[in-house]
Amino acid sequence: MDINLDKYQILDQFNVSRETYRLLDYYKELVLEKNKKINLIGKKDTNNFIKRHIIDCAQVIDFIDFNNKICTDLGSGSGLPGIVIAIMLKDKKKKIIMNLYEKSYHKSVFLKEVREKLKLDVNIYQKDLYENKNLISGTVIARAFKPLPEILELIEKNFKTFTNLVVFMGKNGKQLIESSINKWDFEYKKKSSITSKDSFLINIKNVKKKWIKLKFYQL
């Protein structure tokens, strides 16, 4: 399979091997082919899949906790970013298992097909995350999943432990962070997106819900 490496050039900063590029390109072909039968990505993204999805997802590798053996993708969809990260991790010396949660039956079946064809170390759970409790993870990733305040609620209620939460943010990211700070205490770092000037990634740690002081009035 011939690969146009120029389209992936920006990923050279992550020390990507040629084999990784081959797998990423193979995954792209699998998504585009399956997208003809089921809705995996928007039609407008098919001609710009490498930059819009693969490169965009790959940049999260900088925030992965390599001291933990589990990484979780919330609402994986067609495998973005879970499958992309699993491909990137194949070259790393430390073994990390990707846990992909996707409640759609057809998308879950597709993810399992990709896992087998690319021989990836991935667990696929066709489950509604909101119905699962006491989840354990290292890094938790959310891309095009839910607004930040809702993700923080999910993390607090459904995860027993996690080391950090990475969320892909768009134009309204600043406002979402500000609204979250009203209810939550957390440490965070921002990283500008390498694919869009209007987007960024936020790496969150030490999440705690703020206590709300109630005022009582004597009748």
CATH topology (fold) of 5-209: Rossmann fold (3.40.50)
Residue 194 burial class via C-beta count within 10 angstroms: exposed 0-12, middle 13-18, buried 19 and up: middle
Average pLDDT, the chain: 93
CB 142 within 8 A of CB 169: no
Q: Write down the pLDDT at residue 215.
A: 58
pLDDT higher than 70, residue 217:
no
Domain ranges of the chain: 5-209
Pairing of strands 164-169, 122-125: unpaired
Centre a 10 Å sphere on the Cβ of residue 199 and count the other Cβ atoms it contains: 15
Q: Write down the pLDDT at residue 214.
A: 55
In this prediction, what percent of the chain has a pLDDT beyond 90?
87
pLDDT higher than 70, residue 212:
no
pLDDT tens-digit readout, 110-124: 999 999 999 999 999
Q: What is the mean pLDDT of residues 145-149?
A: 96
- State the Cα–Cα distance between residues 69 and 58, nearest whole angstrom: 18
CB 126 within 8 A of CB 105: yes
pLDDT tens-digit readout, 178-192: 999 999 999 999 999
Burial 58-86 (b: 16+ CB within 10 A, else e): bbbbebbbeebebbbbbbbbbbbbbbbbb
Q: Write down the pLDDT at residue 92.
A: 79
94: confidence class by pLDDT, cuts 50, 70, 90: confident
